[in-house]
Amino acid sequence: MRWTLSPEPNAEITQKLAHSLGIETILAKLLVQRGITNFEQAKTFFRPSFDDLHDPFLMKDMDRAVTRIEKAISQQESILVYGDYDVDGTTSVSLMASYLKTRHPAVGTYIPDRYAEGYGVSFQGIDFAADNEVSLIIALDCGIKALEKVAYAREKGIDFIICDHHRPGKELPDAVAVLDPKRADCQYPYEELCGCGVGFKLVQALASKQGQTPTDLRPYLDLVAVAIAADIVPITGENRTLAFLGLQVINQDPRTGIKAMIHQLKKDSFSITDVVFLIAPRINAAGRIKHGNHAVELLMENDLKTALNFAGAIEENNQQRKVLDKTITREALQQIEADGEQDCAATVVYAEHWHKGVIGIVASRLIETHYRPTVVFTKSGDTLTASARSVKGFDLYKALEACSTFIEQFGGHTYAAGLTIKEENYPAFKAAFETVVNNSLPEALRSPEISIDAEISLSQLTPKCYRILQQMAPFGPQNRQPVFSASGLRDDGRGKKIVGADQSHIRLSVYEGVNTRTFSAIGFGLAAKEPLTRDTPFKAVFCVEENHWNNHTSLQLRLKDIKAEE
């Protein structure tokens, strides 16, 4: 693991901010590193509110989208809300459809089948709309590259409104409105909304025409927070505000479907991390194993008993997903070893029987073992389909563009993408992708990095310091949980060191110097580092968290890595 210490921020700005906020210098340093340099910015950061949300009409085409929807409602047209089968897509559809149903009865939903139709807008979906006399489709979390499909819909007399957040191509679809803050000609102040976030801005615009304020839309924000967490978008700006307010809804008064999942999880409160690892995978499991419609049904259900039944079925999907995930990951690792590709610059693997619904998870799992850009293929009809994941600092989307000669279609982000190729092009794509990655991935990025915010002394970790650290949540990309390093640490030898069912974790009782207090520390997956802590000083990288045990609460270090003192 590479340890990278963040540059020291401007000392004068840091001291001035610390003084104005009445906080320790170390905390002010963390804020300045996040671009917060004055009292007003800090106030907005620590106390997000509905007042921080931008005017939705600043988004290109928002006025056109609102006008068309208002026309559809007034003329009693049938509206179809269309979205992808992942968490962002299903939450987007649930949000938009549940809002529109409060104003208009003729609103339907459509989630494409992952296996029969694939990602995004499909001809089959448009035919479904035409057969059901739909005259307006609102596409969420997809559609920005659906030029042919939108043209096909227009031929059938169906208008499109697109709410997307993926990178547009050189040409935009000929839709009534294309809402995407990443459009080159869009001046919206915040580009990093997820698909559900863009959908919420459209709902906000529609509601404003009815005299409603963003506060009136609070019940929809649990869906937005789940989408933000699941789609791994930056927790900055408007996303931070929406996630902060949405987490309040999840913890205080969630919609019935989320309440049903919480009931199964038997957990009292949820952080953004809990949403990522507990709620989002269950919503995702429906589209991975069965059909994304099941997730929409759960998220739009108002009867708790029915919702609990839906949640139970989705939990079964999730358990099946876990089994497939482990099995395919093991097979993929065996394939890498059998082919002698442990030292390649990239990972590209394929088996026709691998379940399409979990190959994205498998790609992420493979990076945990072989840290490099990864593409996992399976067979889908007459073609091969893949999920791709990247490593920190490497633009996967650009790499796929460089291999586009061998790709039928692809889309996604810097760190995650999906693609389709002809089976006969698999060897050529694999060779091309390896070449592109090998030539463009710097040596420094070929091993995992731990980014450290600051070096500290354990004596600085007071209860007051921790309370302020917690107020920096929700954490996520570009506002991650603060990571510290400390040196001169020793283990006092109390308690069992190697723990866990598979004996892979390490538990320490750590102190620093003669007069400082002792902290419990847990390092998941760090059992192999245990010899470094015997009888000699060591240094560690860690986050700070609360440990609750036997009705006692104390601060604990969650270790990320350990090294011997040099």
pLDDT for the residue 515: 60
Q: In the predicted model, what is the mean pLDDT of the chain? A: 94
What CA–CA distance (Å, rounded) separates 511 from 513?
7
Residue 559 has pLDDT above 70, yes or no: yes
Per the model's pLDDT, the better-predicted residue between 64 and 459 turns out to be: 64
Residue 362 has pLDDT above 70, yes or no: yes
How far lies 391's CA from each of 106, 122, 364, 448, in Å? 45, 31, 9, 8
For the chain, where do the domains classified as CATH 3.90.1640.30 start and end? 56-313
3-state secondary structure 374-430: EEEEEEECCEEEEEEECCCCCCHHHHHHHCHHHCCEEEECCCEEEEEEEHHHHHHHH
How far lies 303's CA from each of 147, 279, 280, 369, 549, in Å? 39, 19, 21, 44, 37
Tokens of 15: 């001291």
Of 10-14, 112-116, 176-180, the poorest mean pLDDT is in: 112-116
What CA–CA distance (Å, rounded) separates 244 from 288?
28
CB contact at 8 A, 6 and 452: yes
Neighbour-count burial for 302-332, b at 16+ CB within 10 Å, e otherwise = eeeeebbebbebbbebbebbeebbeebbeeb
Greatest mean pLDDT among 245-254, 507-516, 547-556 lies in: 245-254
Of 141, 180, 179, 143, nearest in space to 158 by CA:
143
CB contact at 8 A, 510 and 490: yes
CATH of region 450-564: 2.40.50.460
Span 26-46, mean pLDDT? 95
Of 90-99, 284-293, 317-326, the poorest mean pLDDT is in: 284-293
Residue 412 has pLDDT above 90, yes or no: no
User: Which residue type sits at 494?
Assistant: R
How far lies 29's CA from each of 16, 20, 298, 443, 482, in Å? 11, 13, 43, 30, 11
CB contact at 8 A, 235 and 272: yes
Span 354-358, mean pLDDT? 92
Please list, in sequence order, all residues whose beta carbon lies within 8 angstroms of the beta carbon of residue 10, skipping any fewer than 6 positions away: 32
CA angle 123, 125, 126 (to 5 degrees): 65
Beta bridge partners of 533: none
Tokens of 277: 């690892």
Residue 495 has pLDDT above 80, yes or no: no
**Confidence class for position 266, pLDDT limits 50, 70, 90:** confident
pLDDT for the residue 496: 74
pLDDT for the residue 413: 78
What CA–CA distance (Å, rounded) separates 288 from 285?
5
Residue 309 has pLDDT above 70, yes or no: yes
**Confidence class for position 283, pLDDT limits 50, 70, 90:** very high
For the chain, where do the domains classified as CATH 3.10.310.30 start and end? 339-445
Span 202-206, mean pLDDT? 98
Q: Quick count: other Cβ atoms within 10 Å of Cβ 505?
A: 18
Neighbour-count burial for 24-36, b at 16+ CB within 10 Å, e otherwise = bebbbbbbbbbeb
Residue in this structure with the two tokens 């009888």, named with its chain if needed: 535
pLDDT tens readout for residues 100-140: 999 999 999 999 988 788 888 999 999 999 999 999 999 99
pTM beyond 0.85: the answer is: yes
What CA–CA distance (Å, rounded) separates 549 from 559?
18
CB contact at 8 A, 347 and 428: no
CB contact at 8 A, 322 and 313: no
Residue 516 has pLDDT above 80, yes or no: no
CATH class of 56-313: alpha beta
Q: Which CATH architecture is the domain 339-445 placed in?
A: Roll (3.10)
Checking DSSP bridges between strand 484-491 and strand 454-455, what pairing results, if any? parallel
With both helix axes pointing from N to C terminus, report the angle between 221-230 and 195-208 in degrees, rounded to the nearest 10.
160
Among positive and negative, which fits the CA dihedral 465, 471, 475, 480?
negative
Largest CA distance in the chain: 79
pLDDT tens readout for residues 15-24: 999 999 999 9
CB contact at 8 A, 17 and 36: yes
pLDDT for the residue 381: 87
What CA–CA distance (Å, rounded) separates 419 from 408?
7
For the chain, where do the domains classified as CATH 2.40.50.460 start and end? 450-564
Of 555, 347, 331, 319, nearest in space to 460 by CA:
555
